[in-house]
């Protein structure tokens, strides 16, 4: 029974490792828990000293193994998707889109447009037929007034009444 108990505890650890990489909805983890309990019972049947040692090992090593498994799981593709971490391609696409947006806004400096809403100091303007959020530099600007882009700071444009 001693070998059965130690073997079952080893299988339980193996099942926890498998649970990291195989999404089973917790079925493998529950099975690992049942196998752990069976292993500890086998150790108690073999010898109470082995049983106590096995129980202490499970109570001490169990949480350590689970925490280690969760730390590894965070790095797996499934773990990243479940945690909402964007993939490298998504990050690269976002950075590229932001870079294009910055370049577009920077190229608009000096262009004229029209205030669509009141800029007090933030509002919307139409420049080259496109709607943009903008900040009035000097004073409030009423809807319909002509504006000129004076500055592009990151993803924000600043306008002034013409």
Nearest Cα residue to 58 out of 82, 78, 32, 83: 32
At 96 the pLDDT is 95
Superfamily of domain 88-161: Nucleic acid-binding proteins (2.40.50.140)
Predicted confidence (pLDDT) at residue 20 exceeds the cutoff of 80: no
* Other residues' Cβ atoms within 10 Å of the Cβ of residue 108: 20
At 80 the pLDDT is 81
Whole-number Å distance between alpha carbons of 97 and 117: 26
At 75 the pLDDT is 83
Nearest Cα residue to 21 out of 84, 67, 83, 70: 70
Nearest Cα residue to 120 out of 137, 132, 107, 106: 137
Whole-number Å distance between alpha carbons of 41 and 4: 10
At 68 the pLDDT is 84
Find where tokens 């108990």 sit. Answer: 5
Q: Which residues pair with 47 in a beta bridge?
A: none
Nearest Cα residue to 69 out of 8, 9, 7, 21: 21
Q: Which two tokens stand for residue 119?
A: 């800029």
pLDDT tens digits, one per residue of 31-86: 999 999 999 999 999 999 999 999 999 999 889 877 887 888 788 877 788 788 88
At 150 the pLDDT is 94
Nearest Cα residue to 24 out of 105, 92, 78: 78
Largest interatomic CA distance in the chain: 92
Predicted confidence (pLDDT) at residue 22 exceeds the cutoff of 90: no
At 111 the pLDDT is 94
At 154 the pLDDT is 77
At 43 the pLDDT is 95
pLDDT tens digits, one per residue of 87-135: 888 899 999 999 998 888 889 999 999 999 999 999 999 998 999 999 9
Whole-number Å distance between alpha carbons of 65 and 38: 18
């Amino acid at each position: 029974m001693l070998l059965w108990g130690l073997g079952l505890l080893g299988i339980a650890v193996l099942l926890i490792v498998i649970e990291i990489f195989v999404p089973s909805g917790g079925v493998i983890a529950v099975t690992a828990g049942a196998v752990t309990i069976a292993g500890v019972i086998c150790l108690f049947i073999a010898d109470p000293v082995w049983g106590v040692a096995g129980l202490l090992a499970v109570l001490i090593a169990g949480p350590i193994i689970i925490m280690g498994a969760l730390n590894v799981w965070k790095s797996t593709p499934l773990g990243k998707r479940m945690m909402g971490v964007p993939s490298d391609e998504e990050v690269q696409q976002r950075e590229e889109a932001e870079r294009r947006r910055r370049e577009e806004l920077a190229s608009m400096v000096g262009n004229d447009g029209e205030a669509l809403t009141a800029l007090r100091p933030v509002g919307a303007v139409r420049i080259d037929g496109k709607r943009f959020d903008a900040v009035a530099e000097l004073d409030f600007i009423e809807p319909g007034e002509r504006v000129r882009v004076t500055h592009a700071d990151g993803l924000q444009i600043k306008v002034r009444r013409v």
